[in-house]
Structure 1
Amino acid sequence: MPLTGNDSDGGVQRQLEAPMPWIGMYVAAASLVCSLAMTVDVFHGFRTKKLWFPSKYFSINAASLSLLAVAMKLSVDLTTHMWTVTDRLAKVSSLIFMSTAMGNFMTSLGTMNDKEILLNVIALGILVITVIVNVCIQIIQVRHFLGGREMYAEEIIASFFILLLLVMLSASAVMVPTTKRHLELKYQEMLKLASEEEILQSVEFEKLTTDKLRAMIKKYWVMAETSSPQFVIARSVTCSTSGVICLAITFILAEAYARMAIKCNTFKETASNYGWSTTWIVLAQSAGVIAGTIAPAFRWFTAVNFAYSEKGQMSFKNAFKIETYWTQRLVEWKESSLPLQIRDRKWRKLLNDAKGLILNFVIRVQILIVLSSKLVRFISVCFLSQTILCIHCIKRLKNVLTSSTSSIHVFSESESGVNTEQDLTRYVLLFEGEVEQPHKTLKNICNKVDKVIEIGKKQQPENLKNLLLKIDNFSSLTEIDDYQVPSLHSQEPPNFWSLLLVTLTSIAIALPNIPRHSTNWLLSSVNQGLIYVKLIEKCLDRNGVRLNIRNAADVVWVEVELYQKWQHKNLHEMSCKGRNSKEILQELSDEAEKTLMEFKRNVKDCRMKDPFNWPVKVIAANSMNQITRTILLVNEIHDPLTDEGLFDQLSTMIADVLAACLNNLTRVITMKCQQNGIEEREKGVHQAALLLGETEEIIHILQQHKGQSLNPEKSAYTEKWFVLMEHGN
């Protein structure tokens, strides 16, 4: 029997609706990814004790906005009927989920430049307006049935809060560039002051002890963390008010759950085309709302706690003062000329007046937002004052009870007898209108420094420390330099620390009659040392002039460490053929010379006249040829060494090279602390603290030898170091 038209249309409709549950699962998956990102940010904040919760994994960018757009599928769906309990909860949870995500986005504005802020805020605004317009269309379409529609009030309130959060996020975005500029100026002033202090402390280089390095790192850490753009936004009144909004909308979702539980006794009633997937959407988004509310709520409570502690230093008038950084950017735009090239004076005047009217309105809105946020903070302090007072009393009681057993005092005198509390408070960077940070903030910062250094101590390179005990006041290296043979090429690239190290190590493991455990120990020790050598070279070679030399060392070391080969020659087989050390040195020299002569014959590129542009294979061969020929010459002049004796001498030379290079550790630690990029400062100081922890004992070992007394500013490169060793600093 043929199908009727209605039956045919119904079959087509069912086929079209069949994939809808899987589309719903896609929405649930996108919501879950956002929820997990917010959860990880919360975990990261607690783990690092940054209760202002920086946005590290969930920030406003193309990826997160795309995920949110997918998660808002139900909110913008105008055709699907969603009338049952689970369907209505899904509609409301989507809007509240969007609000929570926007509350978490706030601090991430600090990681962006001006253009990125503008583009991301515009993109978020387009998404928000799209969602709100669709919600409004739905409400208008069903306005005659609102009396029987569940949770429409929650939907309207959630939509209002989304718009409010967008306005507050935009207000914060306007403030960020100005605040970053002001803090950058203050940071440069502090950096100049700190650098002058470091120069005074290091007039005699031996006095720059690990104790002073630790104090220096704490100082720079305070500067970096208090000037962190994300921390600055987290301390702002708009950010703390967004926490109040996130808490409020979370209670709205909880109220919707409670009301539906009382009225319907179930959450698994769905009649939409999304079917069973609606339940998963509700669960994923509800979990995201719970996890995502933690960070904004803590930011709000921390700001209220801080405002409560400073209320004795702030008058009512100052509490509602509008700082210039909130409107300065808008005023600059208002006073600037039009970017458009219009010849007609009347049109230019008309457009300029229109721009002035619009920006005057925006400035008033900005002032209203800031005043409202300050009012929210003031009311929060009044309502929570007793609670905060109780918390402070409990903490004081706990400190009294634990003071007798605790020996940790962050602001105690250091081993050098210098009290660091005054220095640290001097280096706190504050924005306009902000009073001093509480001592607890500085205490947490210093505790982080100590913990990172302790983590570094647990990762100390033991084999490297044992190798450095072989240091012989660099006599073996100066002897090699004295007898250095002329190059086979008219020009040659200078050796760099890592290339010198891998070349000497290649020779050492090729020597015959050396126990395997000795060569393995040497490889492990040099491998540990190269981690720091490469870091030092990268810091000192800022312009990348010696990049090819560093690359040559990397290429050689991969072969030596993993395969015990030098330019495809098996070093282990060479050591097992029963020949003596002289023959092996000669073979390595001949192999290197062959590579050099082939390069000299075939080179046609004019760039190769500069030895810094040589291929890495040729640079490595030049280093091997120079060192092997020099060692052969020294052995001819002096009494020849046994295989074991030559291995010991090479091990001592390697230790001396490492010590000479690691002489620059304190300089690199200082350079890491003085990163110029505002987004890189915290990372740089963290690396400096970790590096100090890992190398503290190494620095102590080096301080016992005369190489440490050389000024690292003048001994950064091998050729300069040899000159200094001969003639003194």
Structure 2
Amino acid sequence: MGKIGCSVDGNLNEAKFSEPLPWIGIYIAVATLACAIMMAADLIHGIHCRKLWFPSKYSCLNATSLTIIAVAIKLSVDLNTPMPRHIDQLAKLSSSALICTLMGNSMPSLGIMENKEILMNIMALGILVITVIVNTCIQLGTGVVYLYWKEHALIMFLMLVLLVILSFSALTVPTTKKYLELKYKKKYKMAAKECSNECDSAVHKKLRQDLMKYWMMAHTCSPQFVLGRSVTCTAAGALCLLSAMTLAEAMLGSYLMPGSFKFCNGESDYKWSTILVLIIQTIAIVVGTIAPAIRWFTAINFRCPSTGKKSRKEFRVEKNWTQFLVEMKECPFTIRIQSRQCRKLAHGAKDRILDLCIAMQIGIVLASKVIRFISIYFISRILLFCMCCKKLIWCKSNNTSIDSGSDSQPSSKPDLSRFVLHLEGENELVEMMMKNNWGEKQPKHLLELLDKSSSGLHGVKEFDSDLVLSLDNEEPPHCWALPVVTLTAIAIAIPNTSSCLRKQLMRSVHEGLVYVKIIEENLHAQRDMTNIRKAAYTVWLGVDLYHKWLDVDLNRMYFQAGSTKEILEGLADAAKNKYESHSKWPIMVLAANSMYRISQTILQNYERNSIQSSEKLFEALTVMISDILGACLTNLQHIISLKCFSSSVELREESVRYAVFLLGKTEKILELVNQKTLPSLGPEEMACINKWRALHKPKNQLHFPASSTESDTASSSLMDLHLTIE
């Protein structure tokens, strides 16, 4: 009977019940680690994107995160497991502090939720927080928690205040979204009108100026940013920092002054797992406190009088805080009640409840502003001292006055203050947003390749001849990536060419295909192009990593082939064999057909050339690849423009941010391709390589530029050489 739950003498075998608890401790530690990873991911994401208000991309309130939190704080709600050691008591306290940290981190995520989703998540969080508070109070009464009762009381108070702040901050989300959406539409029309009136010869410069306007609008009306910069979120950051400091005080006191505490003897049923839980929860709290603390400090730093900001009218409650509750109060009572007296009582009760909520909302906002004002009062002294030291060091290092040269160079940045979307009481936001960071690292290898392209981008028409029959007697539609990949495979297999040039071409195509993929995914969404794009990137994976076209070793062909003609014939034959052996696999068929047509086209040109030079053929193929990439990349401007407007307010900022990133990476590319002679096609036609090819009948000429080492006479004659397909 001992194995069932009773001992031999019939008594309950309590020791058996506590055996799994160390494993439950590991379970708690793993859940806490998951919380720590989510908060760390948000921290890294915010720093990487230079968003010091740290949007909640990973540690947001939802069913999954609330379930993980419920597991991570199990020690706080465990009513009857003995916790005698000081480590056990600290683990209880750290579980409560962890909830404060998680609430502070997840507050901005309320901005991206729908109204019903906000309500359900806040209710679930409220049930969890109230359960923790009630259970902790019971444990304080029964003696399970017998130490750090002041710290527990303070953290429970902070926990409750944070819950109230989150709940009432969520009430502002619906009206704030509507208000900013209306302002965005008006500003967008104004920006579009200004952009259409501007005439700048440099397209990339005009695009840059336009993007700055759209980015400013999209960023400042982002729902997460609106919550992240709010006074309640600033106060939540201060409260999170205070809860972490409370835990730190308890931990330092227990280790530095153990004589001031009276600990119980014995061991917890969680045994060694308690130490693991305490360590991981402490790490999670430290990591999770950084983002709310930086939000708090950023707001304080910006509003400090020492930095030139005024703190008057600090205690005025703006209308947007209570507008939703006021609108609810003005709405008629919709519940059907037969009795007039009962309807009257219900309507009166609704008004009284909403009046109480409005008063609470005003109180929360005022309390948050008090916290911010007190923070400013103390932090401003430190910032003023740091600023004086910084100016003193700067003056000594430059041997000049602080103000000298401050007005010598006027700012070259355009005035974007008109496009900053802000709420009432956020006038200082305009000044803060007048900073813009540009200048992403340019793809240098791709730029070097694009420099070699022809002025008219003739390679788009010349890589494939109409005189070459397809393997299936039907010419399939082309995509941008597949001919680039196929031509690159042919180029690196050509013998007697420089190894450095082959490597350079591979690097350039690798950088170029990144942007080709972006263009094809956004502008070429036809279903019949899906397999062609898959074929291109499947082939490129083998070429890039293993120097193989499908399973044909290009390096072996490069070293073992006797002539260039053998290479081209070998690739054409390999393509034909692949087609015949994989006739039911669309990706293989498309890749094989592309290789066959292009290699046959190049072979016909090569055979009709009086000077059969591998180096010149490699150079001609490089120019052709550059032309195709250049023609494709002319669509980048259209992609960037499309990303500037999104119908969803939740996704708009990320879309425009991507456009900013893309422009920063491709500004030099746009400058290069816009110098070429481009066809007069519409945006949709420019995105299709078949439209480029159909615009004019292809001349199918491979141009062979001369080497820089040859004489001027030879260079002049060789530059005029070309191959003609009859």
* Alpha-carbon separation, structure 2, partners of 1:657 and 1:169: 54
Superposition pairs for residues 266-345 of structure 1, below 5 Å?
271=266, 272-309=268-305, 316=313, 319-331=314-326
Match of 1:706 among 644, 653, 677: 677
Match of 2:231 among 222, 232, 237: 237
Q: Note the C-alpha offset of 1:435.
A: 0.9
Give ranges in structure 2 of 5+ residues lacking alignment. 699-726
Conservation of the 8 A alpha-carbon contact between 2:464 and 2:601: no
Match of 1:718 among 681, 689, 709: 689
Give the partner amino acid of 1:471.
S
The alignment partner of 1:423 has SS state of: coil
- The 10-residue stretch of structure 1 (40-49 or 545-554) with the greater mean CA deviation from structure 2: 40-49
* Alpha-carbon separation, structure 2, partners of 1:673 and 1:410: 37
C-alpha distance 337-653 of structure 1, shift in aligned 2 (>3 A): farther
- Residue equivalent to 2:190: 193
Q: Note the C-alpha offset of 1:169.
A: 0.8
Q: Note the C-alpha offset of 1:653.
A: 1.4
Match of 2:462 among 466, 474, 480: 480
Give CA deviations for 1:574-597 in whole Å, capped at 9, x if unaligned.
675557638945972895599499
Q: How many residues align?
A: 688
- Residue equivalent to 2:427: 435
Give the partner amino acid of 1:581.
K
- The 10-residue stretch of structure 1 (56-65 or 127-136) with the greater mean CA deviation from structure 2: 56-65
* Alpha-carbon separation, structure 2, partners of 1:257 and 1:567: 62
- Residue equivalent to 1:504: 487
Answer yes or no: is 1:615 the counterpart of 2:615.
no
C-alpha distance 421-328 of structure 1, shift in aligned 2 (>3 A): same
Q: Quick one: higher RCO (CA 8 Å, sep 6+), 1 or 2? A: 1
Match of 1:449 among 438, 444, 451: 438
C-alpha distance 423-547 of structure 1, shift in aligned 2 (>3 A): farther
* Alpha-carbon separation, structure 2, partners of 1:232 and 1:438: 13
Conservation of the 8 A alpha-carbon contact between 1:523 and 1:561: yes
C-alpha distance 645-151 of structure 1, shift in aligned 2 (>3 A): closer
The alignment partner of 1:705 has SS state of: coil
Give the partner amino acid of 1:24.
G
Give the partner amino acid of 1:185.
L
Answer yes or no: is 1:160 the counterpart of 2:143.
no
Conservation of the 8 A alpha-carbon contact between 1:37 and 1:58: yes
* Alpha-carbon separation, structure 2, partners of 1:179 and 1:586: 66
Give CA deviations for 1:205-247 in whole Å, capped at 9, x if unaligned.
x5124x5555555444433433333322122121122233234
Conservation of the 8 A alpha-carbon contact between 2:494 and 2:567: no
- Residue equivalent to 2:202: 207
Conservation of the 8 A alpha-carbon contact between 2:112 and 2:224: yes
The alignment partner of 2:572 has SS state of: helix
The alignment partner of 2:77 has SS state of: coil
Give the partner amino acid of 1:449.
W
Match of 1:533 among 510, 516, 523: 516
Q: Note the C-alpha offset of 1:136.
A: 3.4
Give the partner amino acid of 1:480.
E
- Residue equivalent to 1:60: 61
Give the partner amino acid of 1:668.
I
C-alpha distance 48-584 of structure 1, shift in aligned 2 (>3 A): closer
* Alpha-carbon separation, structure 2, partners of 1:571 and 1:412: 61
Give CA deviations for 1:633-682 in whole Å, capped at 9, x if unaligned.
66688768555544433222112112222233344344445555545555
* Alpha-carbon separation, structure 2, partners of 1:412 and 1:208: 31
The alignment partner of 2:76 has SS state of: coil
* Alpha-carbon separation, structure 2, partners of 1:188 and 1:515: 56
* Alpha-carbon separation, structure 2, partners of 1:661 and 1:558: 20
* Alpha-carbon separation, structure 2, partners of 1:388 and 1:84: 42
- Residue equivalent to 1:253: 247
- Residue equivalent to 2:572: 588
Q: Note the C-alpha offset of 1:104.
A: 2.1
Give the partner amino acid of 2:229.
R
C-alpha distance 24-270 of structure 1, shift in aligned 2 (>3 A): farther
**Percent sequence identity over matched residues?**
41
Q: Note the C-alpha offset of 1:34.
A: 3.3
Conservation of the 8 A alpha-carbon contact between 1:83 and 1:150: no
Q: Which has the higher helix share?
A: 1
Give the alignment's TM-score, normalised by structure 1: 0.78
Give the partner amino acid of 2:466.
Q
Give the partner amino acid of 1:720.
K
Give ranges in structure 1 of 5+ residues lacking alignment. 603-613
Superposition pairs for residues 392-411 of structure 1, below 5 Å?
393-394=388-389, 397=392
Q: Note the C-alpha offset of 1:132.
A: 1.9
- Residue equivalent to 1:662: 633
Q: Note the C-alpha offset of 1:495.
A: 1.5
- Residue equivalent to 1:362: 357
Give the partner amino acid of 2:428.
E
- Residue equivalent to 1:151: 148
* Alpha-carbon separation, structure 1, partners of 2:576 and 2:41: 53
- Residue equivalent to 1:606: none
* Alpha-carbon separation, structure 2, partners of 1:505 and 1:84: 69
- The 10-residue stretch of structure 1 (588-597 or 211-220) with the greater mean CA deviation from structure 2: 588-597
Q: Note the C-alpha offset of 1:324.
A: 3.5
- Residue equivalent to 1:373: 368
Conservation of the 8 A alpha-carbon contact between 1:334 and 1:355: yes
Conservation of the 8 A alpha-carbon contact between 1:323 and 1:432: yes
* Alpha-carbon separation, structure 2, partners of 1:406 and 1:440: 26
Conservation of the 8 A alpha-carbon contact between 1:306 and 1:438: no
- Residue equivalent to 2:100: 99
- The 10-residue stretch of structure 1 (123-132 or 213-222) with the greater mean CA deviation from structure 2: 213-222
Q: Note the C-alpha offset of 1:154.
A: 3.2
- Residue equivalent to 2:166: 169
